[in-house]
Structure 1
Amino acid sequence: MPVEKPRSEYRQVVALLRAAIADGEFPPGALLPAEPVLAERFGVTRATVNRALAMLRTEGLVRPERGRGTTVNELPIIRRESAGRQAQGVREAEGSRGAFDAEIRGLGLVPEAVVSVAEVAAPAEVALLLGVEAGEPVLARVREMSADGVPVQLATSYLPLGIVGGTRIAEVDTGPGGTYSRLGELGYAPVEFTETVRVRTPAEDEVVALRMDEDQRVFAITRVAVAEGGRVVEVNRIVAPAHQWELVFS
């Protein structure tokens, strides 16, 4: 179907490709035709097709595959319910290792997290939130998280060593329900959460880890978990592709 005037040609191509994807002509994971083929199909130049695909990549609807071409994003939008996801029954559902694990399983996808755990010097902003001195040792849990093999989130949790040192939280596998369930067993169950959300471009290492384009956007979330008595028990810095997630606050 050729494009029409007077709307800019590349925006018309964007709309036509969106419709083709929505109608199932190009299902999730499908390889789009090469740029010359699309140019002939829509009666436009290859440069116009290239610009249209760049916009669709920025939105996250398609992504480049090195050595293959451009494919349709194989993952659905992930709905992240800021409060409800932290309920114990949700975090521990069917042996899930926390909220992320449960979210991804709930979509019928396979969650995976590459986890590293270490004692680190508390960054100044984290130390202020945790109520410790800047540079004081804290436990850091670093996770690279994926769904069906596609990276969708990076997260680093900082926790007070005086509470979690030598416990299962200091191990790679924290068990069913994840860190918050173990904190509950230690008498520090989080009862309040505050999340601060910013939208920004990804850093160089995030571009690589999340397989993003440099001009795409991420949600940068800082979550602070507070136990009874006002003790901050975790500061979690989360980075997630904005096109892949829907944030819900209730």
Structure 2
Amino acid sequence: MSVVETPRARYRQVAEELRNAIKRGEYQPGEMLPSQPELARKYGLNQTSINRAIALLRAEGLVRVEHGRGAFVQLVPTVKRTRRVPRPGGNGSSFADEMRKAGLDPRTELVSLRTDPAPVGVAERLGLDEGGPVVVRERHMFASERPVQLAISYIPLTVAGSEDIAVPDVGPTGLYKRLAERGYVVTRFVEEIESRRAHPNEAGFLGLTDAQQVLEVARVVFAGEQPVETVVNVFPAQQWRLSYEWNAEGAGLT
């Protein structure tokens, strides 16, 4: 029988041991962990404590729980999202580029394309009056058919001209080329990153529990001083690593 030391909460120690075993490859993706009675005997704990340990791993996205069967190790590929400041070529890498670099097969699904009144936060980012018309483009992204990202972008209708600017959907590079053809040459990007709990629709698509965290990256795209698009990207926090790079020269470092 394994001995779990105190004073740290014992179920957390069990979760840490199982987490490390998963990371070492002792339990492979799709493999079932030992049953709760087996784990209770191994660690000398009751099943309530073991259940709490499994719940921690589930909240982290490391396992999925199938009622009546047990806890199974999740396949969680890590994807690196790289941004360089300044960006060579102006637009940076696309979702498809990032997936291919990770050895994954990318696919993007256009969920909705419509014209709506701008919500308050969107209107503020775009410098519009609340309710001003915006072209809304919602997309779901997949890596080797696994849901990995949601993206929703808003373009002022006065900038877009019509919804046709987003058809066909060829990612940001194609969109920015079309904006340039309308006289809006993209010159600058501003991103804000927030860690928060997944909303129900996000959790449903990404296969997360309501306790799991997502990263929300809200980007504003500028042509000169004019905001021409804002995009909200949502990623499972445990699955993505954000990487930013910039030159020290001219960065105001002391």
TM-score, normalised relative to structure 1: 0.83
* Amino acid aligned to 2:135: L
CA contact (8 A) 1:34 1:69 kept: yes
CA contact (8 A) 2:166 2:175 kept: no
Shift of 1:85: 11
Distance 2:188 2:233 in 1: 18
* Amino acid aligned to 2:83: S
- Using the TM superposition, name which of 76-85 and 18-27 deviates more: 76-85
Q: How does 1:166-181 map to 2 (within 5 A)?
A: 166=162, 169-174=165-170, 177-181=173-177
Shift of 1:159: 0.8
Show structure 1 runs of 4+ deviating over 6 A.
Answer: none
- Structure 1 residue aligned with 2:103: 108
Distance 1:113 1:34, change over 3 A: farther
- Structure 2 residue aligned with 1:37: 38
The size of the alignment, in residue pairs, is: 243
Unmatched tracts of structure 2, length 5 or more: 246-254
Distance 1:23 1:191, change over 3 A: same
Shift of 1:87: 5.0
- Structure 1 residue aligned with 2:143: 147
* One of 222, 233, 252 as aligned partner of 1:238: 233
* Amino acid aligned to 2:227: V
Distance 1:107 1:217 in 2: 22
Question: In angstroms, what is the RMSD of aligned CA positions?
Answer: 2.8
Distance 1:30 1:72 in 2: 6
1:71-106 Cα shifts (integer Å, max 9, x gaps): 323122222223479655986xxxxxx622211121
Unmatched tracts of structure 1, length 5 or more: 92-97
What percentage of aligned pairs have identical amino acids?
A: 42
- Structure 2 residue aligned with 1:202: 198
Distance 1:110 1:16 in 2: 32
- Structure 2 residue aligned with 1:94: none
* One of 181, 189, 194 as aligned partner of 1:193: 189
Distance 1:29 1:218 in 2: 23
1:129-164 Cα shifts (integer Å, max 9, x gaps): 223332222111101222223222221100122333
CA contact (8 A) 2:104 2:143 kept: yes
